Amino acid sequence: MNSLDLYARFEPLIGFEREIEALHDLYLQELLNRGAKKVLDIGCGSGALLLKLQLAGIEAKGIDLSGEMVERALKKGARAERIDLSAESGFYDAAIAVFDVINYLPPNDLEGFFREVAKKISRFFIFDINSLYGFQEIAVGDLILRDQKIHATVSSIYKERQLISNFDLFEPDKDGKYRRSSSQIVQYYHSPQSVKGALADALFTIESVDEYRLYNQRRADKLIFTALYQSTPR
């Protein structure tokens, strides 16, 4: 099981549903305000936001590298596919990347990723990144998670501009013995200046960078970028 699929097993245990739903509602409202008709959700996860977009009358497709996440999205009735962004052949009004997607990219991959996004859209790209405060003060620490069958632990540290999270999942097999699965996921801190530079190099114009308090903290733990792109006719 790869690290993204293992994380997919953790996600239902982590909680924060209300906070994430509020973030999804913010994206939905922004897309509606801008008159987006066709949207690509990059790193769509289990499809919760995709369903909101579809119910609002927006033609939406999600892509994700986790097969388990895509399977969940499909079961919910969302349109999703397990492919890399570079393999996506559709063309959209806008793209979104919600809840840490950009932080999974190493710094040297930012500009190339933004250039790939630019190939898929005609108008704008909205995404969020973790602030330094979000990494250093909110994300670090240990969690113990469980439901009736699954027991899990997450231990996260921040060092050298990286959030390193170690996941351990304990699940019972058919004999009732617990089987352990382990993985490590790395997220990268991107300064606002580095993101702005990579966007500019990919020929995006930055419209706004807004602070967001996902967990109602005293300081913003996320920054939401809105970047405009004028594509050539296809």
- pLDDT tens digits for range 13-27: 777 788 999 999 999
Residues 6+ apart with CB under 8 A from 6: 167, 169, 181, 183
Phi, psi of 214 (to 5 degrees): -65, -40
pLDDT at 231 over 90: no
pLDDT grade for 129, boundaries at 50, 70 and 90: very high
- Confidence class of residue 47 from pLDDT cuts 50, 70 and 90? very high
Q: Which residue has the higher pLDDT, 120 or 173?
A: 120
Q: Calculate what percentage of the chain has a pLDDT beyond 90.
A: 76
Where is 151: in which H helix or E strand? strand 151-159
pLDDT of residue 1: 61
Over the stretch 161-208, which tens digit does the pLDDT of each residue have?
Answer: 999 999 998 888 877 788 888 889 999 999 999 999 999 999 999 999
Distance set, CA 125 to CA 113, 148, 157 (Å): 12, 40, 30
CA nearest to 197, candidates 225, 166, 161, 172: 225
Over the chain, what is the mean pLDDT?
92
Q: How far apart are CA 130 and CA 78, in angstroms?
A: 27
Domain definitions of the chain by residue range: 3-131+191-228, 135-188
Are 210 and 223 in contact by the 8 Å Cβ rule? The answer is: yes
Token pair of 88, please? 């996506």
Domain 3-131+191-228 has CATH 3.40.630.30: no
Tell me what the mean pLDDT of segment 116-122 comes to.
Answer: 97
According to CATH, what is the number of the domain 135-188? 2.20.25.110
Instruction: Supply the pLDDT for residue 232.
Output: 64
**234, pLDDT greater than 80:** no
pLDDT at 233: 56
